[in-house]
Amino acid sequence: MLQTKVFQFCRSLYGVRCELSRRWSSQHHILGAKTVDTGGCLEVQHPHWPHSLRVTYPWLRDHCRCDQCFNHVTVQRKFDLGTLKLNIRPAAVNSTPKELEVTWPDGHKSKYDYQFLWQNTFEGRRTSYKSPRLFWTPSTFPEPDLTTVPLSALESSDKNGVQKLLYSILRHGFGFISEVPPDIESTRLAVEKVCAVQKTFYGEMWEMQGTNLPHYDTAYTSEYIGPHTDQTYFSSAARIQVFHCLQPALEGGGETLLVDGFSVAQKYKEKYPQGYDFLSSTAFPAQYKEEGQQHASLDTVFKHNPVTGNLQQFRFNVYDRAPLSSIPMEKMQDFYLHFSNLVKTVQNPRNEHWLQLQPGMVLLIDNWRIMHGRNKFSGMRIMCGCYFDNDDFSSAARVLGIQLE
């Protein structure tokens, strides 16, 4: 059974050291705690923490979780931030084995569980979060037992199968559901046990049969498709893409291509650091057009977490590029230099993992990380699938206790 790693720094809570302004005490000892002036903030140190936490007084007052300041039923704040004084200082601080107690000048009392402080302050969260991501190449492609969950496990009430599948997607960028009946409705029922299906102009579930062209997209042909991510023409691309091969190509071909985009990005950054910076800061347009639909987006190739700076999304699709109207002439040569180097890096065969999808095996990929493609094929080939958006996928992971960045 997969168990999500949870930090246990806050179980034994004796010996907490608190440092506080001399305004009310410069050397004050309470249950082993110590308070000294730290220039307008409280420093809390615990023996099970790898380092102390410095928390400003406005932050503490704003994060009071008493019933007067916080609605525990709706999980919403009630405290009026407009009344907060930026120079606020506590009248008293007390530490108990369970929590930190602060009394404010107006007599209001706030209590803070030590684990709450560790998990919700910038320094604590930055230290406690450990990315599960494991980059791969064809030679290190994960074994099936790490990435595959049978449908029966998803149907179990303990949710361990769903948790394993979500963790595999976050760690490796993909996961499989096995033993799924090879039809579109069974596929829907299987994936809805993981996350709600996203509705797009393709509908909720899409189906491709041979070379039928219900949408103006290369995916609906039998041609070779190189590695790419989907929906670069949306302002927020789908987080997860689902594939189920209901019938392999009758006359051969149609193998699926997977490339770890984050592994490629790491290689590209090491070899072309200026190119990485350029494609992280320079947006260019993508588009999708068909009768009744006209979608366009302007964004960068590499998108990063705004707090940690870690790579969060790799947007790469050479097919859906719109006319290049967003880059001034003086930067045009730089764009073609850096983007062409990225294309060459992506297309290196040493990054490519090929597999033949089979009926009954549903593939889920992280569309913000994993590029996919397809070999050309002949004869009837039937595929179905769908998308999950990022918000629903992230919520499903958090509900099962998986910590996200």
Q: Which domains are present in the chain? A: 17-128 (3.30.2020.30), 138-399 (3.60.130.10)
Query: How much is the CA Rg of the chain, to the nearest whole Å?
Result: 26
Separation CA 294–CA 291 (nearest Å): 8
CA nearest neighbour of 284 among 296, 265, 302, 300:
300
Work out whether the CA dihedral 187, 189, 195, 197 comes out positive or negative: positive
Which residue, chain included where needed, has tokens 């000892």?
29
Query: What pLDDT score was predicted for residue 294?
Result: 96
393 alpha-carbon distance from chain centroid: 9
Structure tokens given for 95? 């530490």
Query: What pLDDT score was predicted for residue 210?
Result: 64
Which residue, chain included where needed, has tokens 């023409």?
233
Separation CA 157–CA 347 (nearest Å): 43
Query: What pLDDT score was predicted for residue 40?
Result: 79
Query: What pLDDT score was predicted for residue 2?
Result: 41
Q: pTM, whole model, 2 decimals?
A: 0.86
Q: Which three-class secondary structure state does DSSP give residue 276?
A: helix
Query: What pLDDT score was predicted for residue 136?
Result: 98
Decide if 234 contacts 297 (C-beta within 8 A): yes
According to DSSP, the β-strands at 148-150 and 174-178 are parallel
33 phi and psi angles, rounded to 5 deg: -85, 155
Query: What pLDDT score was predicted for residue 127?
Result: 86
Q: Could you report the average pLDDT of every consecutive run of 10 residues in the chain (405 residues)?
A: 35 34 36 49 85 92 97 96 94 88 96 92 87 96 97 96 98 98 98 97 90 57 91 98 96 95 99 99 96 96 95 98 96 98 98 98 99 94 97 98 91
Q: Which three-class secondary structure state does DSSP give residue 226?
A: strand
Q: What angle do CA 97, 99, 104 make, to 5 degrees?
A: 130
Query: What pLDDT score was predicted for residue 273?
Result: 99
* Identity of the amino acid at 361: M
Q: How many residues does the chain have?
A: 405
DSSP 311-368: EEEE---STTBPP--SS-HHHHHHHHHHHHHHHHHHT-GGG-EEE---TT-EEEEETT
Residues in contact with 55: Cβ distance below 8 Å, sequence separation at least 6, in sequence order: 41, 42, 43, 44, 117, 121
